[in-house]
Structure 1
Amino acid sequence: MHITLAPMQGVLDHLMRETLTAVNDYDLCISEFVRVVDQLLPAKVYHRLCPELKQGGKTRAGTPVRVQLLGQHPEWMAENALRAIELGSPGVDLNFGCPAPTVNKSQGGAVLLKTPEAVHAIVKAVRDAVPAHLPVSAKIRLGFEDKALHMENADAVYQGGANELAVHARTKVEAYRPPAHWEYVDAIRRALPIPVTANGEIWNHADAMRCRAVSGCDRLMVGRGALSLPNLANVMKQDCPHLSWPEVLRLMVRYSEQDLAGEKADYYPSRIKQWFSYVVREYAEADALFRRIRTIKTADEIRAALERECMTLA
C-alpha cells in the first residue's frame, strides 16, 4: 500500500509533516499549496512553505515532499513548476481540489473543474516545463456542484500528460461531508492507465480496507485522519495498535519543541488547537485538555500546559 500525506492548507505545514513522518511510514508528502497568480515567485516563498527543499526535498525521516502549485494561468504555472524543480522538489503536484471560497473566487482550485479544458491546459503546460524524468501529479475532486464532469476532468489530467492522479471522492459543494464516493474513483482508475490515488473519509484500518475494496486503489491519501490518529499510516499498512493517549500527548509536546521562532511562534497556538480539534475525534481523553488550552494565547503557555499534562500521566 502506497500512502500519501495530503496537503491541508493552514494545518499540515512542515512542522506537522516532520512530526507525523517521524512516527509513520508515509511514502510521500504533498506541501501546502504555493499560490501562483501572474509572476514567477521568489525562492523564499517556496522555502517558507516547503523548507524541506533545503534538505533534499525530504523530511528528516526521509519522506519525499512534493511541492504543490495552485493557479489558473498555464504559463505562470509552468514557470513556477520549473522553479520548484530547480529548488529541489522531487516533482510537482497541481491543485484542482481546494474548496475554499476565497480561492475559488479568484479562479483557483476546485472551480477549475467546471472547465476540463482549463485543467488540461494547465497540466500540459506544467508537464512540458518539468523535466521528463520527474513526476507531475494532480489532485481533483469529483466536480464542483455535481459529479457530471468527473471523468472529463480525470481524462483532462491524463491527456495533459500527468503521471499520477489523486481523487478526493467528493465534490466541492459536498466539501468534507460524509460519505466519500469511492465508487467514482474506481471508475476513474479503470479508465486511466496512470496510477490513481483515492482520498476521503479514511480514519482507520477498516476504512482503508473498505476504500481499497470499493475504489480498487492500492494508493491512498490521508489528511484529517492523519491528524485524528497520528500513527494512521502504520495502522493502515500494518493493522497495528493505535497510539495511546499518553503517546499522542508526548508527540504533541515534541511538535511544540520544534523551532517556533518568528511567525511560527505567532501561529503555533492556532495550529495546535486545530490539531486538538481532530485528535478529540479519536481520543476522548483529549477533550478536557483541549478545553483548558482553548483560551490560551501564547506558544509558551500552551507548551507548558502540555508538559504538565504529560507529567500527570507519567
Structure 2
Amino acid sequence: MEGLADYWVRRALTDVGRYDWCVSEFVRVSGNLLPPRVFHRWCPELRDGARTRSGTPVHLQLLGSDPACMADNAVRAVALGAPAIDLNFGCPAKTVNRHRGGAVLLDEPEVVHAVTAAVRRAVPVTVPVSVKMRLGNADDGRALDNARAVEAAGAAWLTVHGRTKKQGYRPPAYWDRIGAIREAVSLPVIANGEIWTAEDARRCQAESGCADLMLGRGAVADPLLVRAVRGGDPGDWPEVLAVLGDFGESILDTGTEPQLCGRVKQWLSYSRRRWPEAAALLQSVKRETRIRPLVASLHRTVGEQP
C-alpha cells in the first residue's frame, strides 16, 4: 500500500498484532540497477535483519516489467538482506500503469511469467519469490492465465486481490473468483481484499477456500484486527487510540509538520470505518498543523478514556 504501509506503520501494526510476515511498499524498477540507499529508503528494516521491531519478517516488493532489470534488482535486494522477494502485478495507480507496471501487466501473462521466472532464476533457491496480483486489468478474463503463468515460473505462492484494476477499491471483493484461481493451480493462494472485520475474514476463507489471508487497509482501520482474526480479544477504542498515540510519537522529526500531521489524520480517517470515536477525534484535530500538539491531543484523549 504505497504511501500508507511504510516503515512506521509496519512497526506499529506488528508491535500489537502477530503477523507471519509483512511486505514493504513497492520499489519501482524502471531500467536501472538501483543503489542500496533506494532499498533502504523503502525498507529500512533491511538494516535490522529485515525484521520489524517486534521481529516480524519483512519481504521486499519490486514493481516493474523488464525481466532482466527486475532480476538484477532482486539480487541486490537479497544481498542487502531481503528474506523474500514479492512481485507487484496489482497496483492500480494510473502513473504506475502508464509506465507498464502493476495491474496493467495482467493483460500480458507472458510478461508476468517472464518477470517472475527471471527473478526466480536469479536469486538463491532458499529465497522465496512470490507474486501479488489482482483478478485482472479491465476484466478478469485472463485471471487463470496469469495464475498459471506465475505457477509455471516457479513462484512460491500467489496473493490475489479480489478485484480488477478497473474495479479499483469499490466493494465488493470477489472472493469466490479467488477460489476459482486457487482450484486452478497447485501453489498456495492467499486471499486479499475487503477484509475489515473478523467476520469478513471468515467469509473470505469460506468463499475463496483459502486458509491464508493478507490484510491491507482493514489492518490500518483496526490495528487489532489480526488479533481478532486469530480468535483473540478484539480490543477496544482506548487500546486503538494508544496505538495511534505511540505512532504519532514515533514519527516526530521524520518529516515536515504538515506531512506528519497528515499521517496521523490519515490513520484517524481510516479508523472511522471501524471505530465511531475516531470521527469525533478527527474533527477536533483537523485544523491542527503542528505535530507535537496533535500527538499531545491523542495522549490526552487516551487519559480521558474510562
Aligned to 1:252: 244
Aligned to 1:179: 172
TM-score w.r.t. the length of structure 2 is 0.97
1:281 aligns with 2:265: no
Paired with 1:21 and 1:261, the residues of 2 have a C-alpha distance of 22
Residue identity opposite 2:23 in structure 1: I
Alignment of 1:36-75 (within 5 A): 36-75=29-68
Does structure 1 conserve the Cα–Cα contact (< 8 Å) formed by 2:268 and 2:278? yes
Aligned to 1:3: none
Does structure 2 conserve the Cα–Cα contact (< 8 Å) formed by 1:230 and 1:243? no
Paired with 1:294 and 1:117, the residues of 2 have a C-alpha distance of 48
- Runs of 4 or more, structure 1, over 6 Å off, are none
Paired with 1:266 and 1:159, the residues of 2 have a C-alpha distance of 47
Q: Tell me which moved more, 287-296 or 59-68.
A: 287-296
3-state SS of 1:287 partner: helix
Aligned to 1:121: 114
Residue identity opposite 1:272 in structure 2: V
3-state SS of 2:16 partner: coil
CA displacement 1:76-134 (0-9 Å, x = unmatched): 11111111101111110000000011111111110101111111111011111111111
CA displacement 1:243-293 (0-9 Å, x = unmatched): 211111111111112153343766322221211111011111111110122
Does structure 1 conserve the Cα–Cα contact (< 8 Å) formed by 2:223 and 2:240? yes
Aligned to 2:162: 169
1:23 aligns with 2:16: yes
RMSD of aligned alpha carbons: 1.3
Aligned to 1:148: 141
Q: 1:302 aligns with which of 272, 294, 304?
A: 294
Instruction: Report the alpha carbon displacement of residue 298 of structure 1 after superposing the two structures with TM.
Output: 2.6
Instruction: Report the alpha carbon displacement of residue 308 of structure 1 after superposing the two structures with TM.
Output: 2.3
3-state SS of 2:25 partner: strand
Q: Tell me which moved more, 38-47 or 253-262.
A: 253-262
Alignment of 1:177-216 (within 5 A): 177-216=170-209
Identity of aligned residues (%): 49
Paired with 1:133 and 1:312, the residues of 2 have a C-alpha distance of 50
Structure ranking higher on relative contact order (CA contacts 8 Å, 6+ apart) = 1
Aligned to 1:4: none
Name stretches of at least 5 consecutive residues in structure 2 with no aligned partner: none
Paired with 2:302 and 2:254, the residues of 1 have a C-alpha distance of 26
3-state SS of 2:196 partner: coil
1:234 aligns with 2:227: yes
Q: 1:92 aligns with which of 74, 82, 85?
A: 85
Does structure 1 conserve the Cα–Cα contact (< 8 Å) formed by 2:158 and 2:190? yes
3-state SS of 2:38 partner: helix
Paired with 2:193 and 2:42, the residues of 1 have a C-alpha distance of 24
Does structure 2 conserve the Cα–Cα contact (< 8 Å) formed by 1:229 and 1:243? no
3-state SS of 1:154 partner: helix
Residue identity opposite 2:237 in structure 1: W
Does structure 2 conserve the Cα–Cα contact (< 8 Å) formed by 1:229 and 1:242? no
Cα 1:292–1:263 change in 2 (3 A) is same
